[in-house]
Amino acid sequence: MPRHLFNSLVAVVLLSGCAHNSLLQGSSRIGADVAAAKLTQLTPPEWQSETPDILPNTPTWQALDDPILQDMIAQGLSGNLSIEASLLRLESALIGLEQSETALSPRFSLGRGSASVTQSRNGGPFDSYSFGGSAQYQVDIWGRIKNNVTQSALSVEQQKIQNEVLRISTAQAIANIYIDLRVRDEVIRLQEQQIEIQREQLRLSEVRLEAGAITRLSVDQIRVSIQRLLGTLEASRVRRDDLERRLALLLGLPPHEFSLEPRSFQTFDLPRLMPDAPANVLIGRPDIRAAECNVVRAGLSLDNARKAWLPTLGLSGSATQSSTSLFDLLTTDGISASIGAAMSVLLFDNGDRDRNIAQVEIAERQTLISYQQTVLAALEDVEQILTRQSQNMRQIEIQRLQEEAQQRVTRITQAQYDTGAASAFDLIREQSNGLNSRQSRVLDWSEGVKVYISALGALAVDPLPSADASTSMLNGMICKNSADSE
Q: Please tell me the predicted confidence (pLDDT) of residue 469.
A: 38
How far is the C-alpha of 88 from the C-alpha of 465, rounded, in Å? 20
Structure confidence at residue 329 as a pLDDT band (50, 70, 90): low
* Domain assignment of residue 272, yes or no: no
Structure confidence at residue 127 as a pLDDT band (50, 70, 90): low
Look up residue 391 and give its amino acid.
Q
- Domain, as residue range, for 91: 3-116+124-264+278-484
Residue 315, SS3 per DSSP: strand
pLDDT at 108 over 80: no
Structure confidence at residue 385 as a pLDDT band (50, 70, 90): confident
For residue 60, give every residue at least 6 positions away whose Cβ sits within 8 Å of its Cβ, in sequence order, or none: 456, 461
For residue 4, give every residue at least 6 positions away whose Cβ sits within 8 Å of its Cβ, in sequence order, or none: 47
Of 157, 107, 113, the residue nearest 131 (C-alpha): 113
* Domain assignment of residue 269, yes or no: no
Low-confidence winner among 35-49, 78-92, 248-262 (lowest mean pLDDT): 35-49
For residue 340, how many other CB atoms are within 10 A of its CB?
A: 9
For residue 5, give every residue at least 6 positions away whose Cβ sits within 8 Å of its Cβ, in sequence order, or none: 276, 278, 279
Q: What is the mean pLDDT of residues 13-41?
A: 42
pLDDT at 5 over 70: no
CA distances from 486 to 26, 83, 212, 289 (A): 5, 35, 97, 21
* Domain assignment of residue 53, yes or no: yes
Q: Say which residue, 342 or 475, is predicted with more confidence.
A: 342
Of 45, 53, 51, 42, the residue nearest 15 (C-alpha): 51
* Domain assignment of residue 130, yes or no: yes
* Domain assignment of residue 454, yes or no: yes
Structure confidence at residue 435 as a pLDDT band (50, 70, 90): very high
* Domain assignment of residue 271, yes or no: no
User: What's the structural domain count of the chain?
Assistant: 1
* Domain assignment of residue 24, yes or no: yes
Residue 319, SS3 per DSSP: strand
* Domain assignment of residue 109, yes or no: yes
Query: Is residue 9 classed exposed, middle or buried when 0-12, 13-18 and 19+ CB atoms within 10 A define those classes?
Result: buried
- The CATH number of residue 250's host domain is 1.20.1600.10
Answer for the pair 283, 375: CB distance below 8 angstroms, yes or no.
no
Per the DSSP assignment, residues forming a β-bridge with 454 are none
Q: Please tell me the predicted confidence (pLDDT) of residue 309.
A: 78
Q: Please tell me the predicted confidence (pLDDT) of residue 407.
A: 92
- In tens, the pLDDT along 144-203 reads 888 888 888 998 998 999 999 999 999 999 999 999 999 999 999 999 999 999 999 899
Q: Say which residue, 114 or 348, is predicted with more confidence.
A: 348
Of 10, 37, 7, the residue nearest 295 (C-alpha): 37
pLDDT at 53 over 50: no
Q: What is the mean pLDDT of residues 356-368?
A: 91
- pTM for the whole thing? 0.75
Q: What is the mean pLDDT of residues 427-453?
A: 91
